[in-house]
Amino acid sequence: MSEKGRHRRSSRLPRVWLLVPLPAVIAGAVAIRVASDRGKPSAASPSPTTQLSIASTPPPVSPSATFPTPSSSPAKGTLVIHGAGDVNLDPSFIPNFEVHGYAWAWSGLDGLFKTDDLTVVNLECAVSNLGAPVPKEFNFRGDPKALPAMNMAGVEVANMGNNHSYDFGPDALIDTRKNLLANEIAPVGAGKDPAQANAAAILEVNGWTIAVVGFDKVVDPYPDAIAGPGHPGTADGHDTDAMVAAVKAAAKQAEIVIVAIHWGVELDTEPRPDDVDLAHRFIDAGADIIFGGHSHRLQPMEKYKGKVIFYSLANFVWPDFSEAGATTAVAEVTVSAKGKLTGRLIPAFIEDAGHPVLTGS
C-alpha cells in the first residue's frame, strides 16, 4: 500500500456455492447446505439456497439438522457479473465507518450489486480480531461487524489473494475465511495450505456453473504470506505455472471461469508486459473473465479471444487520498445465453473516504 499504496439484479436467481479444493483433496470435502434469504426471487422461483463444500473438517452437525435441497438448474439465461477493486474494512484506516456505519460503504451504488447475478471484490485486509501485526509497513485489520453490510450489499465472492490478507498472521487469515463464510461470502485466494488457497468457489447461477479463483502475485513485502504445506497464506505468489494449473482445474469444473488477481506495480495506469502475458495464459488455460488489482489506479479493459480482462479496478471502499486514487469504476460483464461476453467499465468516484459513488451508468 501507499499513495503509493494508500493503500452493484433483477431478482437474484437460485444459486449454489461450493468451495472446491484441488483434486488431491476433493475426496475429503464435506457439503453443508445453508438457507439464504438474500435476494428477491420471483414468485415462480424456489427459495435461494447456498451450498458450501469445504475441504477441511467441519464442526459436528446435529443428526436432527435439516437442510433445504437445491432445485435443479434452470435453462441458461443472461448473466450480469460485476467486479470491484480494493475493499478495506479497517475503521482506523477509514474513520468514516465509525460515523456513518458500515452500510455507508455500499450506499452510493444504487443497489447495483443486489440486482446482478454475481459480484466479486478484492478484500484488502484481514477481517478478524485474532493475531498480531506482522512486520511490514501497513497492516489492515477489518472489523468482522462490517461483513453483514457487505453481504446485504450483494457481494458474493471476496478475493483474499492480495498483500494484506496476512497482515495479522495465519490465525487471522484463517479466521477471515471463517467470518466470510459465516456471512455467505465465498473466500478465494488464501487458505490453510496451497490446496485451499487455490480452491475455486463454484457457483450455480441462472443455469450456469461459474468458478472463481484468486491469486496474489504481490508478495515481495512479506514472502512468508504465501501458503505452503501446513502453512496458511495466499495463493501462489510468483508461481505462474501453479496459477495456470489452478485455472485449468477450475475450467474442468465450470462453464465460466473468473480469475481475481493482485498483480502489477503501484500507481501504474497501464499493465506491465509480463502481466499481459500472464492474463493471456490464463485465458488460454480456460479463464473467461479477469479482475485485476493492486496498482490503486484504474487500468484499461482488454478483449482477448472473446474473453474480458480488467487489468486493474483501482480503489473502491478506500480513502480518497487524491483525485487519481479516488477515480475508479465497476467492471461489468454480460454473458448472453449463448455464452458471448460483453465487458464495460461503469465510472465511479470515491466521494469521501470509504464511500464510492457511481458517476455513470
Per-domain residue ranges of the chain: 73-358
The percent of residues in the chain predicted with pLDDT above 70, rounded, is 80
pLDDT tens digits for range 327-343: 999 999 999 999 999 99
261 beta partners? 215, 292
Please tell me which residue, 351 or 222, carries the higher pLDDT value.
351
pLDDT score for 262: 96
pLDDT tens digits for range 245-276: 999 999 999 999 999 999 999 899 999 999 99
pLDDT score for 288: 98
Relative to beta strand 186-188, strand 157-159 is: parallel
Buried b (16+ CB within 10 A) or exposed e, 217-227: bbbeebeebbb
Buried b (16+ CB within 10 A) or exposed e, 141-152: bbbbebbebbbb
Query: d(Cα 18, Cα 3) in Å, to the nearest integer?
Result: 37
Which residue type, as a one-letter code, is found at position 180? L
CA distances in angstroms from 121 to 155, 214, 261, 311, listed in the order given: 7, 10, 10, 14
pLDDT over threshold 80, residue 160 = yes
Binned at pLDDT 50, 70 and 90, residue 74 comes out as: low
Burial class (CB in 10 A: 0-12, 13-18, 19+), 107: middle
pLDDT score for 361: 86
pLDDT over threshold 90, residue 16 = no
pLDDT over threshold 60, residue 67 = no
Please tell me which residue, 9 or 181, carries the higher pLDDT value.
181
Binned at pLDDT 50, 70 and 90, residue 19 comes out as: low
Q: Which three cell numbers stand for residue 128?
A: 478478524
Question: Mean of the pLDDT values across residues 213-234?
Answer: 93
CATH topology of domain 73-358: Purple Acid Phosphatase; chain A, domain 2 (3.60.21)
Q: Which three cell numbers stand for residue 223?
A: 514472502
Query: d(Cα 189, Cα 263) in Å, to the nearest integer?
Result: 13
pLDDT tens digits for range 162-212: 999 999 999 999 999 999 999 999 999 999 999 999 999 999 999 999 999
CA distances in angstroms from 323 to 3, 44, 140, 300, 360, listed in the order given: 11, 46, 22, 18, 17
